[in-house]
Amino acid sequence: MSGFSAAPMGWNSYDYYDTSVTEADVRANAACMAERLRPCGWEYVVVDIQWYAHRPNAQRERYQYLPFGELAMDEYGRLLPDPERFPSSAGGAGFTPLADDIHSLGLKFGIHIMRGVPRLAAHRRLPVRGTSVSADEIADPASICRWNPDMYGVRNCPAGQAYYDSLLELYAGWGVDYIKCDDICNTDNASPFYEGAYGARHEVEMLARAIQNCGRPIALSLSPGPALLSEAWHYAKYANLWRITDDLWDDWRLVKAMFRRCELWQEHVAPGSWPDCDMLPLGRIGKGFGDERDTRLTRDEQRTMMTLWCVFGSPLMVGAELTKLDGWTLSLLTNRRVLALLDAARRRTQIRRDDHEAVWLSERRDGGDPHAALFNLDDAAREIAVPLSELGLPSTPATAEELWSGRRVLCGDGVLTATLPPHGCALFHVEPHT
Amino acid sequence: MSGFSAAPMGWNSYDYYDTSVTEADVRANAACMAERLRPCGWEYVVVDIQWYAHRPNAQRERYQYLPFGELAMDEYGRLLPDPERFPSSAGGAGFTPLADDIHSLGLKFGIHIMRGVPRLAAHRRLPVRGTSVSADEIADPASICRWNPDMYGVRNCPAGQAYYDSLLELYAGWGVDYIKCDDICNTDNASPFYEGAYGARHEVEMLARAIQNCGRPIALSLSPGPALLSEAWHYAKYANLWRITDDLWDDWRLVKAMFRRCELWQEHVAPGSWPDCDMLPLGRIGKGFGDERDTRLTRDEQRTMMTLWCVFGSPLMVGAELTKLDGWTLSLLTNRRVLALLDAARRRTQIRRDDHEAVWLSERRDGGDPHAALFNLDDAAREIAVPLSELGLPSTPATAEELWSGRRVLCGDGVLTATLPPHGCALFHVEPHT
Amino acid sequence: MSGFSAAPMGWNSYDYYDTSVTEADVRANAACMAERLRPCGWEYVVVDIQWYAHRPNAQRERYQYLPFGELAMDEYGRLLPDPERFPSSAGGAGFTPLADDIHSLGLKFGIHIMRGVPRLAAHRRLPVRGTSVSADEIADPASICRWNPDMYGVRNCPAGQAYYDSLLELYAGWGVDYIKCDDICNTDNASPFYEGAYGARHEVEMLARAIQNCGRPIALSLSPGPALLSEAWHYAKYANLWRITDDLWDDWRLVKAMFRRCELWQEHVAPGSWPDCDMLPLGRIGKGFGDERDTRLTRDEQRTMMTLWCVFGSPLMVGAELTKLDGWTLSLLTNRRVLALLDAARRRTQIRRDDHEAVWLSERRDGGDPHAALFNLDDAAREIAVPLSELGLPSTPATAEELWSGRRVLCGDGVLTATLPPHGCALFHVEPHT
Amino acid sequence: MSGFSAAPMGWNSYDYYDTSVTEADVRANAACMAERLRPCGWEYVVVDIQWYAHRPNAQRERYQYLPFGELAMDEYGRLLPDPERFPSSAGGAGFTPLADDIHSLGLKFGIHIMRGVPRLAAHRRLPVRGTSVSADEIADPASICRWNPDMYGVRNCPAGQAYYDSLLELYAGWGVDYIKCDDICNTDNASPFYEGAYGARHEVEMLARAIQNCGRPIALSLSPGPALLSEAWHYAKYANLWRITDDLWDDWRLVKAMFRRCELWQEHVAPGSWPDCDMLPLGRIGKGFGDERDTRLTRDEQRTMMTLWCVFGSPLMVGAELTKLDGWTLSLLTNRRVLALLDAARRRTQIRRDDHEAVWLSERRDGGDPHAALFNLDDAAREIAVPLSELGLPSTPATAEELWSGRRVLCGDGVLTATLPPHGCALFHVEPHT
ipTM: 0.94
Write phi, then psi, for C340 (nearest 5 degrees): -60, -20
Predicted confidence band of residue C192 (pLDDT cuts 50, 70, 90):
confident
pLDDT of C361 > 80? The answer is: yes
Clarify whether residues B309 and B357 are in a common domain: no
Clarify whether residues A229 and A317 are in a common domain: yes
Q: What is the pLDDT of residues B64-113, one digit of tens each?
A: 999 999 999 999 999 999 999 999 999 999 999 999 999 999 999 999 99
Clarify whether residues D319 and D290 are in a common domain: yes
Clarify whether residues A391 and A249 are in a common domain: no
Helix (H) or strand (E) holding C15: helix C14-17
Burial of C216 (0-12, 13-18, 19+ CB in 10 A): middle
Domain that holds residue B35: 9-344
Which CATH number characterizes residue D391's domain? 2.60.40.1180
pLDDT of C284 > 90? The answer is: yes
pTM (two decimals): 0.94
Predicted confidence band of residue D243 (pLDDT cuts 50, 70, 90):
very high
- A285 with A293: CB under 8 angstroms? yes
Q: Which residue among D344, D359, D389 closes a domain?
A: D344
Q: What is the pLDDT of residues B123-151, one digit of tens each?
A: 999 999 999 999 999 999 999 999 999 99
What mean pLDDT, rounded, does chain B reach? Answer: 96
Q: Min CA distance, B198 vs chain D (Å)?
A: 15
Clarify whether residues B266 and B414 are in a common domain: no
Clarify whether residues B318 and B366 are in a common domain: no
Instruction: Tell which residue, B88, B14, B89, has the closest CA to residue B49.
Output: B14
Clarify whether residues C427 and C301 are in a common domain: no
pLDDT of C3 > 80? The answer is: no
In angstroms, the CA A363 to CA B427 distance is 80
Q: What is the pLDDT of residues C348-360, one digit of tens each?
A: 999 999 999 999 9
CA of residue A53 relative to chain centroid, distance: 22
- Nearest 10 degrees: Cα torsion A7, A11, A14, A15: 100
Subunits in contact with chain B (3 or more CB pairs closer than 8 Å): A, D
Mean pLDDT for the stretch of residues C55-78: 95
- C339 with C41: CB under 8 angstroms? yes
Mean pLDDT for the stretch of residues A402-408: 97
What mean pLDDT, rounded, does chain D reach? Answer: 96
Which CATH number characterizes residue C130's domain? 3.20.20.70
Mean pLDDT for the stretch of residues D417-431: 97
B230–D266 CB contact, under 8 Å: no
pLDDT winner (highest mean) among A192-206, A364-378, B194-208, D42-56:
D42-56
D263–B193 CB contact, under 8 Å: no
What mean pLDDT, rounded, does chain A reach? Answer: 96
Residue D382 lies inside a defined structural domain of this protein: yes
- D185 with D202: CB under 8 angstroms? no
pLDDT of B2 > 60? The answer is: no
Percentage of residues of chain B with pLDDT beyond 70: 98
Residue A266 lies inside a defined structural domain of this protein: yes
**For the sheet containing C219-222, what is the strand order?**
C274-276, C241-243, C219-222, C178-182, C108-114, C44-47, C9-12, C316-318
In angstroms, the CA C141 to CA D109 distance is 31
C-alpha distances (whole Å) from B88 to each of B80, B104, B172, D20 are 12, 16, 17, 81
In angstroms, the CA D298 to CA A254 distance is 39
What is the rounded radius of gyration, in angstroms, for the C-alpha atoms of chain C?
22
Residues of C in contact with D144 (CB under 8 A): 141-142, 144
Clarify whether residues B417 and B306 are in a common domain: no
Q: Which residue of B has its CA nearest to D349?
A: B233
Chain D contact residues (CB < 8 Å to B): 192-195, 229-230, 232-233, 263-264, 266-268, 350
Residues of D in contact with B263 (CB under 8 A): 233
pLDDT of B48 > 70? The answer is: yes
pLDDT of B395 > 90? The answer is: no
In angstroms, the CA B288 to CA A433 distance is 84
Give the orientation angle of helix D252-265 with respect to helix D299-312, to 10 degrees.
Answer: 10
Residues of D in contact with B230 (CB under 8 A): 192-193, 229, 264
Clarify whether residues D300 and D420 are in a common domain: no
Q: What is the pLDDT of residues B164-195, one digit of tens each?
A: 999 999 999 999 999 999 999 999 866 777 77
Residue B1 lies inside a defined structural domain of this protein: no
A144–B144 CB contact, under 8 Å: yes
What single DSSP character describes residue A224?
A: S
Residue type, B191: S
Mean pLDDT for the stretch of residues B238-263: 98
Helix (H) or strand (E) holding C137: helix C135-138
Helix (H, G, I), strand (E, B) or coil at A176: coil
Clarify whether residues C305 and C361 are in a common domain: no
How high is the pLDDT of residue D191?
A: 72
Residues of C in contact with A263 (CB under 8 A): 233
Q: Residues D37, D39, D42, CA angle at the centre, nearest 5°?
A: 50
Which of D68, D142, D144 shows the shortest C-beta gap to C125?
D68
**With left for phi above 0 and alpha for psi between -120 and 50, is residue A107 left, alpha or beta?**
beta
What single DSSP character describes residue D128?
A: P
Q: Which residue among B344, B359, B383 closes a domain?
A: B344
Residue D4 lies inside a defined structural domain of this protein: no
Chain A contact residues (CB < 8 Å to B): 67-68, 119-120, 122-123, 125, 136, 139-142, 144-147, 149
SS3 content of chain A, % helix, strand, coil (to 5): 35, 25, 40
Best A231, A238, A267, A274 residue to mutate vs chain C (most C CBs within 10 Å): A267
Residue C1 lies inside a defined structural domain of this protein: no
Residue A2 lies inside a defined structural domain of this protein: no
CB atoms inside a 10 Å sphere around CB C120: 19
pLDDT of C366 > 90? The answer is: no
Clarify whether residues C162 and C96 are in a common domain: yes
Q: Which residue among B344, B366, B390 closes a domain?
A: B344
Best A202, A205, A230, A391 residue to mutate vs chain C (most C CBs within 10 Å): A230
Q: Min CA distance, C18 vs chain D (Å)?
A: 20
Residue B64 lies inside a defined structural domain of this protein: yes
Domain count, chain B: 2
B193–D264 CB contact, under 8 Å: no
Clarify whether residues D52 and D103 are in a common domain: yes
Instruction: Tell which residue, D305, D309, D241, D245, has the closest CA to residue D275.
Output: D241
Mean pLDDT for the stretch of residues A32-57: 97
Helix (H, G, I), strand (E, B) or coil at B80: coil
Which of B120, B139, B140 shows the shortest C-beta gap to A123?
B120
How high is the pLDDT of residue C241?
A: 98
Q: What is the pLDDT of residues A155-192, one digit of tens each?
A: 999 999 999 999 999 999 999 999 999 999 999 867 77
